């Protein structure tokens, strides 16, 4: 029990406060990291580096500080504090805490009798200009910054500020149609910049600033690819980010300049020469959540946005009497279009705060709804969860939410449990259950696609979980146990259409799960500069949402993302429910669980992986937690997961809006990186600086030499390959054809400067049948083995090559055999055929990995070669290839010089002809190759 401070001098009180602060920090640090010793915590320790506080740890620290010292700290200053000394200064100058709410009228706000919306406007530019002309002095945005009292922006303020930015952009040579990126926090500068880009005829590309410095490397690398795809010519950002942002210039060839809004204001001269903007012009590029190696920038025209805003307004009954209260980020479509542009169109005041203000203190959102009599507000499901878990009842005294007529819940899966608990808890504060409005939308439909009828409240469908997983039928559950609760996400907007289809494109009836497709005036034309992904987006004139769903009458029920669905043993497994339940386990970081499938190359099915973040570090506690999670996951899945992976904080990757990036987590797991922590900030910054430096200094020379060498390699290949192919096709006798190819392969290898070392040829039988198995690391492996081995053999190739004329003729003429990989019956028939061939023909050569990848490491071996050897009683000779991956890695057209080594390992005799003998033979052969290939073990399972 801490005694209250006694009156004393200011210096004495500061000393007492400092001691209590350090004690509080030490206690929390020990809770977060129980295995670390914190004996010498002082005021100059780094909160991040020395004490190990992440963003959530800081939020908890803020709660405890304010409760202990009965003060209210500024969120931004608290998050930016580097040391306990910084926190002490904030505490000593903080305002007293207050939980009493007052209904402060909005200065100058009168929402009644507003002019009708701009029904003739066809572009966002015309929409803003109409409002500024008709009622320019009306409040448009009530913006909460660092202070408790907001600032008010009128429509004329927005137009004037935007024109200044537009003039500055024109002064720096930005032309109509070019793209300009915005990396700014929620602020008036963001609002001015977005419309400033539009007014000069350019295209805004919103991207988000890093939430924490610990994420800077991943953040900037991901956005370099986005900016490169968007071909941004200029970036508008804050002064503090200019140094970091300049690292992007070395990786984005089109990015000419990085400026702040103030920079643009200072260079704005003359009158803005506003270009003509049409409804079919691109209004902005919305990069979808999680855009990484292959960025997908949704192109949205002015016509798309105007249609979507009007349709959503009709569904919600939006008008100038509404007040929208939002903390949603302006770089995300739900916050940008749904909250800001929608409020702008209908002349409804927008009460706007930053995501940081909400995340640090969720009660601020509810207080703003109370204070400003908000009628509309939106959040992903996790925002409602934060209100349930991070707001104390004492903070809610006097709260009145009776004005809230629609609480939109969308942008991520809607939890029936969350909305039920939210409705129950906040009903005592005036929240009406009918106001809870689960919605559905996606960037490819501008933002909104389905909304529920007014004042209906949420519909929750209880269905048989196993029946949905096994048959795709959403059968209402009679029993209370073993049922899934699926929330209806509304009915399609007027003027738009949806349908549910099976994998063949056949439309399905109600209560049958399938792919959700849609069309309508809000629909994008595709992804910017990404024709491959755009082509995959459309199916017979319908746009594929990427979601699985079913309908009941007119309501849409979303069951899963297609890419997140796990198919195991003929069952469909949905990750959301499992993640939510696992997240409620003690010692697991809530909201930091990812369930995904990882390909099992041995069986052709998916392995179920449960990736879980925990702060626990003690081995004994980790083992107990892992066992508990394994049992819990088994109960939830109806089958055991293949692996439960415990990982440190910040391992589970998320999008800017907080959604789990399951595909990225799968990639992290497959590359064996799911248990590593993040690098220190200075290491990340150093790596980025170094990666940018070669691009400016060395990249030219390296690129030139690599290009010249690649041109020589491929040019020589295209010179030699046609005559070799033709002679192979025409020469009589397989012996002659093999001699030709062996000599051609050796000549080509020497001419491109690659040396070859062969070891262990004495282990290769001089004659008679046998089975050869080799690791597979590159497209050149076949050529290498032909050049290295003195014996003729027969390749075992995938049957898909039979559909390609050139490789088919060549492989057939050198005696290759073809096997089916995907048709199980055909594959089984091929295995029997090969077993017979192995006894009578030249040696059969298999690449049992079946494929290869860029990361170094030996993959799992398929059993086909070893079943053939065991059934035929033949020797297996493991052959190790070393160096080919370095010469020509996967996914590149740029070969490199290198040294090749081929090792023929001692032969292995099968111990029988049954399945167990084949498995043992496979394991022994794989171990022999693993011991000599110099690469790691990447076997799954």
Give the residue from 621, 588, 620 showing the smallest Cα distance to 610.
588
| CA dist., res. 121 & res. 385, Å (int) | 38
Which range is least confidently modeled, 88-102, 820-834, 838-852?
A: 820-834
| CA dist., res. 850 & res. 822, Å (int) | 12
pLDDT value of residue 374: 96
- Phi/psi of residue 299, each to 5°? -85, 120
DSSP 654-669: B-TTS-B-HHHHHHHH
Q: CA distances (Å), 140 to each of 307, 351, 542, 696, in order? A: 21, 9, 37, 45
Predicted confidence band at 826 (pLDDT cuts at 50, 70, 90)? low
pLDDT value of residue 74: 73
Q: Pick the more confident residue, 336 or 627.
A: 336
Reply yes or no on whether the pLDDT at 903 is more than 90.
yes
- In three-state secondary structure terms, 254 is coil
- Write out the two tokens for 821: 């990989």
Predicted confidence band at 728 (pLDDT cuts at 50, 70, 90)? confident
Q: What is the dihedral of CA 649, 650, 653, 657, to 10 degrees?
A: 110
- Phi/psi of residue 518, each to 5°? -150, 165
H helices present in 290-362, as ranges:
302-316, 333, 342-345, 355-360
pLDDT value of residue 634: 78
Which range is least confidently modeled, 217-226, 334-343, 380-389, 459-468?
A: 217-226
Predicted confidence band at 584 (pLDDT cuts at 50, 70, 90)? confident
pLDDT value of residue 49: 66
| CA dist., res. 785 & res. 847, Å (int) | 11
- In three-state secondary structure terms, 104 is coil
Cα-only R_g, the chain: 32
| CA dist., res. 376 & res. 324, Å (int) | 5
Reply yes or no on whether the pLDDT at 55 is more than 70.
no
> pLDDT per residue over 147-177, tens digit each?
778 999 999 999 999 999 999 998 888 989 9
Task: Tell me the average pLDDT across 851-871.
Answer: 81
Reply yes or no on whether the pLDDT at 303 is more than 90.
yes
Predicted confidence band at 435 (pLDDT cuts at 50, 70, 90)? very high
pLDDT value of residue 565: 64
Helix (H) or strand (E) holding 183: strand 179-183
Beta strands in 507-602 (DSSP E): 514-519, 538-539, 542-552, 555-561, 566-568, 571-573, 593-600
| Mean pLDDT, rounded, of the chain | 84
Predicted confidence band at 290 (pLDDT cuts at 50, 70, 90)? very low
Give the bridge partners for 518, in sequence order.
498, 543
Reply yes or no on whether the pLDDT at 134 is more than 50.
yes
Task: Tell me the average pLDDT across 526-541.
Answer: 90
Reply yes or no on whether the pLDDT at 399 is more than 80.
yes
DSSP state of 622: H
Question: Could you give the percent of the chain with pLDDT greater than 70?
Answer: 83
| CA dist., res. 522 & res. 309, Å (int) | 9
pLDDT value of residue 3: 39
Q: Pick the more confident residue, 604 or 236.
A: 236
Reply yes or no on whether the pLDDT at 699 is more than 60.
no
Task: Tell me the average pLDDT across 388-415.
Answer: 90
DSSP state of 207: -
Predicted confidence band at 86 (pLDDT cuts at 50, 70, 90)? confident
Which range is least confidently modeled, 24-28, 54-58, 67-71, 559-563?
A: 54-58
Predicted confidence band at 278 (pLDDT cuts at 50, 70, 90)? very high
- Cβ neighbors of 480 (< 8 A, separation 6 or more) are none
pLDDT value of residue 552: 95
Predicted confidence band at 100 (pLDDT cuts at 50, 70, 90)? very low
| CA dist., res. 830 & res. 837, Å (int) | 10
- In three-state secondary structure terms, 574 is coil
Which range is least confidently modeled, 299-313, 701-715, 902-916?
A: 701-715
Predicted confidence band at 462 (pLDDT cuts at 50, 70, 90)? very high
Q: Pick the more confident residue, 498 or 660.
A: 498
pTM above 0.75, yes or no: no
CA 720 to chain CA centroid, nearest Å:
44
pLDDT value of residue 689: 53
DSSP state of 476: B
DSSP 142-158: EE--SSSS-EEEEHHHH
Greatest mean pLDDT among 17-21, 600-604, 798-802: 17-21
Reply yes or no on whether the pLDDT at 80 is more than 80.
no
> pLDDT per residue over 167-206, tens digit each?
999 888 898 999 999 989 899 999 999 999 999 999 999 9
> pLDDT per residue over 646-688, tens digit each?
988 878 887 655 678 777 787 778 767 655 544 444 454 455 4
């Amino acid at each position: 029990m801490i005694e209250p401070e006694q009156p004393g001098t200011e210096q004495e009180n500061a000393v007492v406060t400092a001691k209590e602060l350090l004690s509080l920090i030490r206690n929390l640090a020990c809770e977060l990291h129980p295995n670390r010793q914190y004996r010498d915590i002082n005021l100059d320790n780094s909160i991040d580096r020395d004490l190990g506080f992440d963003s959530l740890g800081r939020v908890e620290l803020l709660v405890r500080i304010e409760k202990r010292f009965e003060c209210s700290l500024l969120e931004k200053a608290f998050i930016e504090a580097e040391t306990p000394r910084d926190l002490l200064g904030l505490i000593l100058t903080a305002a007293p805490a207050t939980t009493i709410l007052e209904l402060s009228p909005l200065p100058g706000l009168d929402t009644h009798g507003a002019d009708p919306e701009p029904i003739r406007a066809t572009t966002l530019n015309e929409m803003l200009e109409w409002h500024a002309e008709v009622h320019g002095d009306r409040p448009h945005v009530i913006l909460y910054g660092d202070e408790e009292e907001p600032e008010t922006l009128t429509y004329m303020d927005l137009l004037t500020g935007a024109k200044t930015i537009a003039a500055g952009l024109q002064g720096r040579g930005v032309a109509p149609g070019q793209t300009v990126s915005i990396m700014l926090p929620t602020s008036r500068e963001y609002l001015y910049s977005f419309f400033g880009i539009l007014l000069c005829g350019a295209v805004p590309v919103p991207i988000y600033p890093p939430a924490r410095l610990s994420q800077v490397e991943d953040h900037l690398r991901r956005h370099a690819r986005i900016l490169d795809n968007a071909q941004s010519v200029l970036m508008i950002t804050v002064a503090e980010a200019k140094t970091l942002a300049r690292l992007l210039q070395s990786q984005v060839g089109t990015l000419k300049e990085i400026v702040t809004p103030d920079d643009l204001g200072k260079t704005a001269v003359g009158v803005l020469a506003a270009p003509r903007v049409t409804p079919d012009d691109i209004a902005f590029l919305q990069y979808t959540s999680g855009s990484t190696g292959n960025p997908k920038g949704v192109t949205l025209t002015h016509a798309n946005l105007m249609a979507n805003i009007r349709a959503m307004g009709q569904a919600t009954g939006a008008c100038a009497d509404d007040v929208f209260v939002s903390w949603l980020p302006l770089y995300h479509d739900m916050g940008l279009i749904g909250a800001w542009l929608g409020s702008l169109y209908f002349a409804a005041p927008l009460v706007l705060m930053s995501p940081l203000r909400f995340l640090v203190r969720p009660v601020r959102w509810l207080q703003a709804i109370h204070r400003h009599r908000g009628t509309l507000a939106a959040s992903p499901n996790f925002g409602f969860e934060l209100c349930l878990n991070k707001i104390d009842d004492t903070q809610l005294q006097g709260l009145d939410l009776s004005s809230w007529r629609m609480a939109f819940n969308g942008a991520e899966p809607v939890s029936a449990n969350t909305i039920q608990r939210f409705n129950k808890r906040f009903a005592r504060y005036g929240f009406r259950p009918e106001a809870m409005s689960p919605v559905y939308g996606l960037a490819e439909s501008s933002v909104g696609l389905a909304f529920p009828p007014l004042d209906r409240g949420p519909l929750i469908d209880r269905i048989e979980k196993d029946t949905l997983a096994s048959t795709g039928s959403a059968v209402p559950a009679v029993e209370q146990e073993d049922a899934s609760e699926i929330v209806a996400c509304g009915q399609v907007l007027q003027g738009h259409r949806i349908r549910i289809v099976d994998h063949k494109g056949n439309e399905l009836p109600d209560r049958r799960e399938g792919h959700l497709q849609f069309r309508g005036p809000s629909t994008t034309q595709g992804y910017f500069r990404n024709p491959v992904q755009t082509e995959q987006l459309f199916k017979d004139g319908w746009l594929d949402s990427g979601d699985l769903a079913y309908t009941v009458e007119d309501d849409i029920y979303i069951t899963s993302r297609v890419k997140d669905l796990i198919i195991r043993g003929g069952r469909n497994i949905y990750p959301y429910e499992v993640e939510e339940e696992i997240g409620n386990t003690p010692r697991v970081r809530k909201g930091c669980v990812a369930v995904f499938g990882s390909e099992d190359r041995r069986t052709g099915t998916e392995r179920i992986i449960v990736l879980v973040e925990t702060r626990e570090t003690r081995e004994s506690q980790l083992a107990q937690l892992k066992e508990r999670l394994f049992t819990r996951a088994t109960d939830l899945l109806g089958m055991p997961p293949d692996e439960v992976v415990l990982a440190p904080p910040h391992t589970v990757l998320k999008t800017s809006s907080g959604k789990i990036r399951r595909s990225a987590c799968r990639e992290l797991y497959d590359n064996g990186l799911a248990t590593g922590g993040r690098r220190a900030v200075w290491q990340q910054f150093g790596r980025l600086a170094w990666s940018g430096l070669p691009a400016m200094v060395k990249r030219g020379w390296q690129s030139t030499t690599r290009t010249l060498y690649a041109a020589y390699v491929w040019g020589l290949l295209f010179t030699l390959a046609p005559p070799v192919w033709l002679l192979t096709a025409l020469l009589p006798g397989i012996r002659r054809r093999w001699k030709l190819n062996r000599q051609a392969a050796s000549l080509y290898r020497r001419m491109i400067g690659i040396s070859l070392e062969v070891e262990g040829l004495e282990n290769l039988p001089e004659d008679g049948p046998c089975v050869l198995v080799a690791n597979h690391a590159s497209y050149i492996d076949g050529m290498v083995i032909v050049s290295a081995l003195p014996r003729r053999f027969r390749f075992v190739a995938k049957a898909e090559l039979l559909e390609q004329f050139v490789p088919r003729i060549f492989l057939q003429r050198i005696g290759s055999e073809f096997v089916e990989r995907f048709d199980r019956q055909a594959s089984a028939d091929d295995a029997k055929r090969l077993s017979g061939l192995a006894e009578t023909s030249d040696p059969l050569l298999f690449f049992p990995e079946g494929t290869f990848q860029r990361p170094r490491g030996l993959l799992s071996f398929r059993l086909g070669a070893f079943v053939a050897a065991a059934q035929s009683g033949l020797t297996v000779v493991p052959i190790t290839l070393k160096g080919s991956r370095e010469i020509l890695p996967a996914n590149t057209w740029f070969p490199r010089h290198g040294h090749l080594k081929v090792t023929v390992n001692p032969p292995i005799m099968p111990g029988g002809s049954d399945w167990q003998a084949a498995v043992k033979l496979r394991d022994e052969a794989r171990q022999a190759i693993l011991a000599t290939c110099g690469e790691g073990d990447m076997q799954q399972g």
